[in-house]
Amino acid sequence: MERGNYVVTFLRVLLVLMAAVETKALNGVKLKEEHRNAYATMMYMGTPKDYEFYVATRVMIKSLVKLQVEADLVVIASLDVPLRWVRALEEEDGAKVVRVENINNPYTGQQKRFKLTLNKLYAWSLVDYERVVMLDADNLFLQKTDELFQCGQFCAVFINPCIFHTGLFVLQPSQEVFKDMIHSLETGKENPDGADQGFIGAYFPDLLDQPNFHPPLNGSNLDGQYRLPLGYQMDASYYYLRLRWRVPCGPNSVITFPGALWLKPWYWWSWPVLPLGIEWHETRRQTLGYAAEMPVVIIQSIIFLGIIVMTHVALPTISKLYYKNSDKTTSLMQTAIKFIAIWSFLAAYVVPFAIIPRTIHPLVGWGLYFLGSIALSSVAINSFMLPAIQVFVPLIGIFGSLLVMAYPWYNNGVVRALAVFGYAFCYAPVAWGSVVKVLARLHVSVEREQFFPKSTESSPPYGVNKLC
């Protein structure tokens, strides 16, 4: 009997301890909830921009976490997505990753990066959820959009007057619809562009005739199909016309960047060419950060600074090499010297652009670009005895154009474009004149055999050729 009392007492103590631990967990850590709705996006491999879209996906997910959306965050990832990326999405970003096989695209003629976009159809297979908001990675959220889960079986935005955009749409998952879509692919259903945009547009051809979506005030879900207000897919090109948002219908909630691939907002060179790029990077700074790229940035900065120091330290040796004894140079040698000098001049502007991490913050990216260009230009200047000021004139012009584009007080995009055009028109003769002077100086130096004087010439003292 006493043993039974001991057992009961032990169980009571154990229950109290478990309750205390659970209470502490609830107070100290927000336990992961299961939601009946989800924001979803997709990832697949096989394009030259896989890493960039991976970064963009993480930034979008983290921005939704920051907005405290009341929904699960789902990534539909193909089986070949690297496991380290999957772990980062799950463990660091709080997303649910659903691994899928790539849907075979029977259409031909589309760009390579669109070949696997039909994986977006897997959104209809997420039947654990009542509603899913399917997203492209180039969406920038300005505020919560959880009211979208009240929309009907299919809802999308018309940023084109006649064609809705599949960068954001609402759907009700259904295995029947998913299987019918796959069957439509197998039977060769008409698809204008061979990608998700054309296929989904053809699958829901009557959306243009449907009413606009207005979320019910009582929180209930609607049935049917609806057109979403433009505020849920504000095309960045609308902003560039007036340099401000004027979208009267619906909340201004989501910016989308459907333009040229090389001007997506995550590329450091996209700003200040396109003003909204800095908004995306500010979101990244507040969420994901730039820790992944910073080691490369630091290493490149050290290398560029080392090149600048070495070219100045080695200048006496370089000058002596120019005046070493040599036979008369041949015409072929003169041509080779000119060719190497010209290409080294061009490389100073191109190489830094090519090697800087593409998704770094624009201010860091442009700063590193100018540092790299100065470093490589100094090599060309000291190696071929070129005039320093003229060599740097094009670089100064690039810096000036960035200032003109970054000026924040233009009345509208037309005035901004005219200002950039006017600056380019005025500076182009200056830049061209500097290039002509550099080539003329190089030609004279080679023709006079400044690099390889006759053996009877004596070496001049160091300092004659030193550039100021």
Taking the CA atoms of 99, 103, 108 and 114 in sequence, report the sign of the dihedral they define: negative
pLDDT digits (tens, 9 = 90+) for 204-258: 999 999 999 999 999 899 999 999 999 999 999 888 888 887 777 778 899 999 8
75 pairs with which residues across the strands? 41, 97
pLDDT digits (tens, 9 = 90+) for 92-112: 999 999 999 999 988 876 677
Residue 143: C-alpha distances to residues 65, 69, 192 (Å): 11, 9, 33
H-helix or E-strand spanning residue 16: helix 2-28
Q: How far apart are CA 257 and CA 283, in angstroms?
A: 15
Cis bond upstream, residue 272 (ω within 30): yes
pLDDT digits (tens, 9 = 90+) for 361-378: 999 999 999 999 999 999
Residue 349 above 70 pLDDT? Answer: yes
> Percentage of the chain with pLDDT > 90?
63
Q: Which residues of 176-214 are buried (b: 16+ CB within 10 A; e: fewer)?
A: ebbeebbebbeeeeebebbbbbbbbbebbeebeebeebe
Q: How far apart are CA 360 and CA 353, in angstroms?
A: 12
> What's the pLDDT band for 48 if we cut at 50, 70, 90?
confident
> What's the pLDDT band for 115 if we cut at 50, 70, 90?
confident
pLDDT digits (tens, 9 = 90+) for 49-98: 999 999 999 999 999 999 999 999 999 999 999 999 999 999 999 999 99
**Sequence ranges of the domains in the chain:** 37-286, 294-447
Q: What is the DSSP letter of 33?
A: P
> What's the pLDDT band for 332 if we cut at 50, 70, 90?
confident
Under a CB-based contact definition with an 8 Å cutoff, are residues 68 and 93 in contact?
no
| Mean pLDDT, range 391-405, rounded to an integer | 95
Q: What is the pLDDT, as a whole number, of residue 7?
A: 47
Under a CB-based contact definition with an 8 Å cutoff, are residues 438 and 387 in contact?
yes
Q: How far apart are CA 141 and CA 283, in angstroms?
A: 9
Model-level pTM greater than 0.85? Answer: no
Q: Which of 153-167, 189-203, 409-423 has the lowest mean pLDDT?
A: 189-203
Q: How far apart are CA 375 and CA 93, in angstroms?
A: 39
Q: What is the pLDDT, as a whole number, of residue 250?
A: 73
Listed in sequence order, the residues at least 6 apart from 387 whose beta carbon sits closer than 8 Å to its beta carbon are 381, 437, 438, 441, 467
Closest CA relative to residue 44, chosen from 17, 85, 72, 81: 81
Closest CA relative to residue 159, chosen from 125, 129, 136: 136
CATH number corresponding to 37-286: 3.90.550.10
Lookup: tokens for 426: 């005025």
For residue 160, the tally of other CB atoms under 10 A from its CB is 12
Give how far the C-alpha of residue 310 lies from the chain's centroid of Cα atoms, to the nearest Å: 34
Q: How far apart are CA 133 and CA 152, in angstroms?
A: 11
Under a CB-based contact definition with an 8 Å cutoff, are residues 89 and 313 in contact?
no
Q: What is the pLDDT, as a whole number, of residue 8?
A: 52
pLDDT digits (tens, 9 = 90+) for 451-465: 544 444 444 444 444
The DSSP string of 180-214 is HHHHHHHTT---SSSSHHHHHHHHSTTGGGSPBP-
- Looking at the chain, how many residues does it have? 468
76 pairs with which residues across the strands? 42, 98
> What's the pLDDT band for 117 if we cut at 50, 70, 90?
very high
Q: Which of 72-76, 317-321, 444-448 tops mean pLDDT?
A: 72-76
Q: What is the pLDDT, as a whole number, of residue 127?
A: 97
Higher pLDDT, 325 or 173: 173
Under a CB-based contact definition with an 8 Å cutoff, are residues 449 and 327 in contact?
no
Q: What is the DSSP letter of 142?
A: S
For residue 221, the tally of other CB atoms under 10 A from its CB is 15
> What's the pLDDT band for 259 if we cut at 50, 70, 90?
confident
Cis bond upstream, residue 460 (ω within 30): no
